[in-house]
A and B are shown apart, each in its own frame.
Chain A
Amino acid sequence: MSAGRVARYALLIALALVLSYVELLVPLSVVVPGVKLGLPNLVIVFALYRLGARDAWIISLVRVVLVSVMFSNAFAMMYSICGTVLSLTLMSLLIKTGRFSTVGVSVAGGVAHNIGQILCAMLLLSTSRIAYYLPVLLVSGTLAGVLIGIASGLLVERVKTDPQR
C-alpha cells in the first residue's frame, strides 16, 4: 500500500469519524430511535464515486468499528454493520447501473441502512414487532438521503482525485 493511499484512508476515515460525532450532537433519534442524518454517508458516497467500491468498503467498515468502540457498544456495532453492508452493496450496484445521480444513490443507501438495522434488531431481539418503526425510518432515510445526495453530488463534482496514486 502506497503512502499516498494510507494518507487518503486516514484523511477520509478521520473525516467520517468527525461527521459521526457531529451527528451525535444533533439528537434526532430522540423522537424515533434510529432516525439520523447520515452525515458520514457524505464521505462514503464521495469515496464510492471518486475512489471506488473497495476503498469505500474499507473506510466505512473501519469507521463503524471505531465509532462503536468510542461512542456505543457491541450491540450497536452489529446493527451498524448490518446497515452499512446492505447500504454499501445497494449503493455500489446503483452506481454501476449508471442510471442514478448521487441523490438516488444516497437515498437508496439511507433507506437500505435503516432496513438493515431493523432486520438485524429483529434477529438479535427475536421479535418482529420492531417493524413498527420501519415506515418512519423509511421516510426519514429518504429525506436524509436526498440532503446527503445533493451535498455529496457537489463534492463529487468539485473535488477531483486520482485513484492511481
Chain B
Amino acid sequence: MKDWSKAVKRRKNDLILIFAALLLAAALWGALAVFRSEGAYALVTVNGEEYGRYALDKDTQQSIISGEHSNLLAISEGGARISEADCPDKLCVNQGEIRYSGQSIICLPHKVVVEIVGGERSNIDAVVR
C-alpha cells in the first residue's frame, strides 16, 4: 500500500517536472519572439573573428572560405541562408533562411557563424523614435 502511494506521488512529481520544462520552453520562445526585429546586416564570423558583413537589402552571393572549407552565403529579399557547403553534415544548409536580428546559422565543422545584426532594436524603440 505504501509503495503504491509512493509510486503515485512520483508520477505526480514527474508530471510537474515535464510541465515545468515545457513551460520554460514556451516562456523562452515567447520572449525571443517578442524581442525579435528584422536585421540590417548578416555578420559572418569564422573561428570567432569577423569575416565580413553583408547588407540584407541587396541580393548577393558570397563565398565564405576558411582554409579548405567553403560555405556559400546567399542573401535575397532581406533574408540570408547558406545555400551550399562542403561540410559533412549540411546542418547549416538545412537550417534555411534567417532574417530577424539575433538569429544565426552555425556551421560547427567549419566554425562559421552567420548572424543577423543591426536594424530596429524592438517595436518599443520604434514608437519612441
Contact = CB atoms under 8 A, between A and B. Distances in A.
Given A100-B17, A129-B104, A132-B103, A139 B94 contact: no
Contacts, number: 84
Contacts of A125: 48, 106, 111, 113
Interface residues of B, number: 30
Contacts of B106: 33, 121, 125, 130
Contacts of A135: 25-26, 28-29, 32
Interface stretch (B6-14, B59-67, B71-79, B121-129): B6-14
B55 interface: no
Interface string B88-115: 0001001100000011101011010101
B109 A141 contact: no
Q: Secondary structure at chain A's binding surface: helix, strand, loop or mixed?
A: helix
Contacts of B14: 100-101, 103-104, 107, 149
A146 interface: yes
Interface residues of A, number: 33
A119 interface: no
Centre residue among A75, A108, A138, A145 by max chain B CB count within 10 A? A138
A126 B109 CA distance: 16
Interface string A3-41: 000000000000000000000000001110100000000
A138 B24 CA distance: 8
A127 interface: yes
A138 B103 CA distance: 18
B43 to A, nearest CB: 10
Contact of B103 (A100, A129, A139): A129
A104 B13 contact: yes
Interface of B: 7, 9-11, 13-14, 17-18, 21-22, 24-26, 28-29, 32, 45, 48, 91, 94-95, 102-104, 106, 108-109, 111, 113, 115
Interface of A: 29-31, 33, 73, 75-76, 99-101, 103-104, 107-108, 111, 121, 125-127, 129-132, 134-136, 138-139, 141-142, 145-146, 149
